[in-house]
Amino acid sequence: MLLTIVATIFVFGIIVFIHEFGHFITAKASGMRVDEFAIGFGPALVKIQKGETLYSIRAIPLGGYNKIAGMDPEEPLDDRSFLNKPVWKRFIVISAGAIFNFLLAIVIFFIVYASYGVQTPSKEPVVGNMMSNSPAAMAHMQVNDRIMSINGKPVTEWLDISKQLQGTANTVVPIVISRDGQQQELSVIPTQTGNEGRAVIGINPVSIVQEYSISESAIRAVQTTGVVLVSMVDGLWSMITGTTSAELAGPIGVAQMAGQMAENGFMYLLQFTALLSLNLGVINLLPIPALDGGHLIVLLIEGITRRRLPVKALQYIQMTGVIILLLLFVYATTHDISRL
């Protein structure tokens, strides 16, 4: 439980800080006044006033914000207000959050490749690691155990494990393993996972490490980020068009996944952080009011028409966006709870 909490704060803290820092640094560079730079929501735990900006860390580490002067058309405006800057400068400031999330992913992938290399799963049926409280762990299986047979059926390679476990969910299955040259039989109760009802025991194969130089790591980090971004956009489009079913995870689901990645090792948590950072960047660029993407659409309209939208219209647009986000939040959280 503690590991899950720490991992969740780590993941959200990094991606939110980088996202908001993107808005912050470009706003400063554009000559805008930033009244507050906050990580988290709710009551302030730490507040430091430095120059014209208040820096704060708040109690709920699931977000953050920049209070840039003049974003609200009803507040007094001056030459350093957001709304009094050219459209192109405002466009850069709003898009910078997502761009910095993409850059963060590149940096994390680079660190992983340069420090850990690329780990590919071995085909050998040898246990590399186990999830805590998994069926394998409950049956006292250990890392480096070689699986010899499942339910009396021989296992010669890793893919055989899932084949022999098929249809065994929630039943006692005898698994023969070889440990330190000695064979012994364990009784394991596989659990069911996924829509197809696969039986799993919570183990992963041994990883084979391929190392990369600094330059190779940098190139591979950019390539990986590009491939993942294309995959995310394609998956999102498939969900929107109804080609595939929508699978959403709210804060509870993300926290669960962060805890699971942390259990597997820091490298896995880093990669999860990179994926979530890319996800946050893509989601924020969706043309939904109240998200950065919705704001960018408004700026494009202003740039083309040379006129700002009426204040009332902007308020209705923002209200619509907030309602959409709240509905999505409730839907995702409901699914998170049902999965628990």
CA distance 1 to 81: 44
The closest alpha carbon to 145, from 181, 188, 187, belongs to 181
Complete DSSP assignment for 301-335: HHHHHSSPPPHHHHHHHHHHHHHHHHHHHHHHHHH
End-to-end CA distance of the chain: 14
- 120 C-beta neighbours (distance < 10 Å), count: 11
Catalytic residue among 20, 211, 216, 302: 20
Q: Is 63 helix (H, G, I), strand (E, B) or coil?
A: strand
Instruction: Give 273's Cβ-side CA count (13 Å radius).
Output: 29
Query: Active-site residue 20, yes or no?
Result: yes
Instruction: Spell 47-67 as b/e; 16+ CB within 10 A means b.
Output: eeeeeebbbbbbeebbbbbbe
Give the bridge partners for 173, in sequence order: 188
- C-alpha to C-alpha distances, 220 to 211, 214, 215, nearest whole angstrom: 12, 10, 9
Output the CA–CA distances (angstroms, integers) from residue 307 to 76, 78, 101, 260, 299, in the order listed: 19, 19, 31, 50, 10
Angle at 119 between CA 115 and CA 124, to 5 degrees: 145
Q: DSSP readout, 112-181?
A: HHHHH-EEEE-SS-BEEEE-TT-HHHHTT--TTPEEEEETTEE--SHHHHHHHHTT-TTS-EEEEEEETT
Name residue 146's beta-bridge partners. 126, 178
Active site residues: 20
